[in-house]
Amino acid sequence: MRVLICGGGVIGAAVAYFLSRRGIEVIVIERTGLACAASGKSGGFLALDWCDGSPLQALARRSFALHAELARQIDGDWGYRRLDTYGGIAAIDWLSPQARRQRRLGSTDSTAQVHPGAFTAALMQAATAHGAVLRAGTVDGLVREDGAARGVVVDDAVVSGDAVLIAMGPWSILATQWLPLPAVFGLKGHSVVFETGAGGPAHAAFVDIEEPSGDVQSPELFPRPDGTTYVCAISSEAPLPVDPAAVAPDPGAIDRLTAICRQLSPALGRAPVQARQACYRPVTRDGLPLIGAIPGVANAYIATGHSVWGILNAPATGEAMAELILDGAARTVDLRPFAPGRLPTFDPVRLRA
């Protein structure tokens, strides 16, 4: 059996890993580069119970456990570690003296982190060790025979397969030209990575701060074991470029975020900037991911729309999708809340409007 995965982000890499581990031939097709979008530019924050009480609860809890298992099973270092997490206005020694600790949101029992790009690369490397192939190219269409997906068109060439998975993040909306799918939108977020030096605290902080304009921003700060600190905030509904390589940060948003960081922390105020970046998080109309079989087209599947929880929920998504594709049903997690057919299909004519 050959499975074609369209998209080389963390979701595609996770599905490739769990499929290839079961001896399945897998080809991952990626247009720009592995983890080139949100999978490489997000915070990599993991939480055991922050999705409790929502349809994501079982997926998140299973995935949090899988992150710990994968850190033991797969070779490589992607900065996995447990964290203490603070919210409100957090007073920890690397924030400004005027800050006051408000509340703890998580402990080392319930929160952790990874470097998302390194995690995606490790998953893909483990998948290729089991025989998976990462192929560069742009998916331009779907090949159908007798109502079933039988391959994709990549740069005008047909690549045959027994199953096709769409895992292109917000660019999955392009697949509505070939498949009956709901809309997936892109929510743009900005981040700055500072070189703060080795020995950073195993903390995450979710902080509220008022800008001189009076606007209140809620930056998220994640010191990493590689000596950097990742900070994100300032989301917008900017149009999604057709080409992922064309995604660029808005200079004004980066300037605002950098100013906030300098105000928050003496350490950030002194630190050189390693990266100024932006990415589009994939979101759906009801806020839940699309994970499952695509109605009306046999052998066609989708896994996208994970919003801010893509890195957290990638392992359990990969595990469950491998079960669905190979066994006909997911055993580890109930995927029914994420069925693509729960939402109306998107009219691809709107893409040309």
267: Cβ contacts below 8 Å, ≥ 6 apart: 94, 194, 196, 229
CA 306 to the chain's CA centroid: 7
Q: Which residues lie across from 6 on neighbouring strands?
A: 29, 166
7: Cβ contacts below 8 Å, ≥ 6 apart: 28, 29, 30, 166, 167, 168, 169, 171, 172, 304
CA distance 260 to 264: 6
Whether 191 contacts 224, CB under 8 Å: no
Whether 180 contacts 297, CB under 8 Å: yes
- The band of 175, judged by pLDDT with boundaries at 50, 70 and 90, is very high
pLDDT tens by residue, 105-114:
999 999 999 9
pLDDT tens by residue, 216-255:
788 999 999 999 999 999 888 899 999 999 999 999 999 9
pLDDT tens by residue, 268-313:
889 999 999 999 999 999 999 999 999 999 999 999 999 999 999 9
Give CATH for domain 83-109+185-283.
3.30.9.10
Where in the sequence of the chain do the CATH 3.50.50.60 domains occur? 1-79+114-183+286-353
Decide the pairing of beta strands 290-293 and 220-223: unpaired
CA distance 16 to 318: 7
Mean pLDDT of the chain: 94
pLDDT at position 340:
99
Where in the sequence of the chain do the CATH 3.30.9.10 domains occur? 83-109+185-283
User: Would you tell me which CATH number, out of the four given (3.40.1670.10, 3.50.50.60, 3.30.230.70, 3.40.640.10), belongs to the domain 1-79+114-183+286-353?
Assistant: 3.50.50.60
- The band of 89, judged by pLDDT with boundaries at 50, 70 and 90, is low
- The band of 100, judged by pLDDT with boundaries at 50, 70 and 90, is very low
CA distance 292 to 283: 16
CA distance 286 to 259: 34
Q: What is the pTM of this model?
A: 0.95
Whether 321 contacts 338, CB under 8 Å: no
242-264 burial, b if ≥16 CB within 10 A, otherwise e?
A: eebeebebeeebbebbbebbebb
**Residue 248 structure tokens:** 């660029």
Q: Which helix (H) or strand (E) holds 291?
A: strand 290-293
pLDDT at position 91:
43
pLDDT tens by residue, 118-157:
999 999 999 999 999 999 999 999 999 999 999 999 999 9
CA distance 22 to 272: 45
Residue 92 has pLDDT above 90, yes or no: no
pLDDT at position 210:
73
- The band of 60, judged by pLDDT with boundaries at 50, 70 and 90, is very high
Whether 92 contacts 122, CB under 8 Å: no
Whether 44 contacts 293, CB under 8 Å: no
